[in-house]
Amino acid sequence: MKTRIAPTPSGFLHTGNAVSFLITYCLAKCVNGKLLLRIDDLDRERYRREYVDDIFYSLDWLGIQYDEGPFSVSDFEKNWSQHHRLKIYTDALQVSLENDWVYACNCTRKELITSEGNAVYHGKCRNLKNSFLENSAWRWKIKTDTCIYWADMFRSQIQINLFEQMGDFVVRQKNGLPSYQLGSYVDDLHFNITHIIRGADLLTSTAAQLYLAKCWKATAFQHIHFGHHHLLTDENGQKLSKSAGDRSLKALRENGQIPLNILEIARKMLGLPDEKIETTEDLVKLCIAYKPFLNEKI
């Protein structure tokens, strides 16, 4: 069994990130599995070295020890950055082009907002035969009846109509880099991941990536076990986003706090009994005792 923590260095980590990391860590510990730290840095516009550094400080502060991955900013940039795996992504994109699974899209963000009004893209450019130029996005062709199913670790059976909820999603950005959907899919295959813990906001992403695996006949990815936990929200009901504000883990550390409240949130989210926990190892011991992950998928 192998799972992963995959933060993006586009801001300072927040409580929601920490809870997801803790749940993933507990899963690995409960079944004596391996934990990979994979930092997703395809978005170089928002990339900052201090954000990568914050990941290492945060994991240490939370008491999370991983088995594979970078140990410093310089080690990450030298050996683990996604930009070292660009050829793998490019090869995957070339296969999608050769199989006529994708089409070029020249729509601007402004045009998408005006014509669609939401994140669902129903093929405006699909029949225009646009040239696959360097500044064109590539979108995956989704049929109207494309439904994706899986047995979720936290939500039982999931069914998503990919056409209705996402539409023709991007696999190659206009800058030539792979999208999150393709990059994450390829990386999870590359690192032999078997279990993935995510927030509920990524349910459609999971569906998209499972559909990629179906097209590519990637049985290893199709057999990955997914668990989507509830999201933490702010006082306005909005999900937390990376920020240097007072909700960031950096701010909590610098204020001398220890992650007791975060551990308590993770305990409740896992449905564990109301027992006193003071450290991450206490949370792990509770998981081992009450087996919140123990089912036919683990």
Give me 282's structure tokens: 């206490």
Per-residue confidence (pLDDT) for residue 207, from 0 to 100: 98
Phi/psi region, residue 94 (left: phi>0; alpha: psi -120 to 50; beta: rest), is alpha
Write out 27-54 in H/E/C secondary structure.
HHHHCCCEEEECCCCCCCCCCCHHHHHH
Cα 170 to Cα 173: distance, rounded to the nearest angstrom: 7
Per-residue confidence (pLDDT) for residue 128, from 0 to 100: 87
Per-residue confidence (pLDDT) for residue 21, from 0 to 100: 98
pTM to 2 decimals? 0.92
Per-residue confidence (pLDDT) for residue 298, from 0 to 100: 43
Cα 150 to Cα 210: distance, rounded to the nearest angstrom: 9
Are the beta carbons of 42 and 177 closer than 8 angstroms? yes
Per-residue confidence (pLDDT) for residue 123, from 0 to 100: 83
Q: Choose among 280, 241, 253, 249: nearest CA to 15.
A: 249
- Tens-binned pLDDT, residue by residue, of the chain (298 aa): 999 999 999 999 999 999 999 999 999 999 899 999 999 999 988 999 999 999 999 999 999 999 999 999 999 999 999 999 999 999 999 999 999 999 999 888 777 665 555 668 878 899 888 888 878 999 999 999 999 999 999 888 899 999 999 999 999 999 999 999 999 999 999 999 999 999 999 999 999 999 999 999 999 999 999 999 988 866 655 666 665 455 799 999 999 999 999 999 999 999 999 999 999 999 999 999 998 875 544 4
Per-residue confidence (pLDDT) for residue 243, from 0 to 100: 53
Q: Choose among 59, 51, 13, 19: nearest CA to 249.
A: 13
Question: How many alpha carbons fall within 13 Å on the CB side of residue 134?
Answer: 0
Complete domains list, the chain, with CATH: 2-290 (3.40.50.620)
At residue 39, the 3 state secondary structure works out as: coil
Alpha-carbon 37 to chain mean position: 12
**In Å, how far are 5, 182, 217, 221, 284 from 211, measured between CA atoms?**
22, 11, 9, 10, 33
Per-residue confidence (pLDDT) for residue 232, from 0 to 100: 82
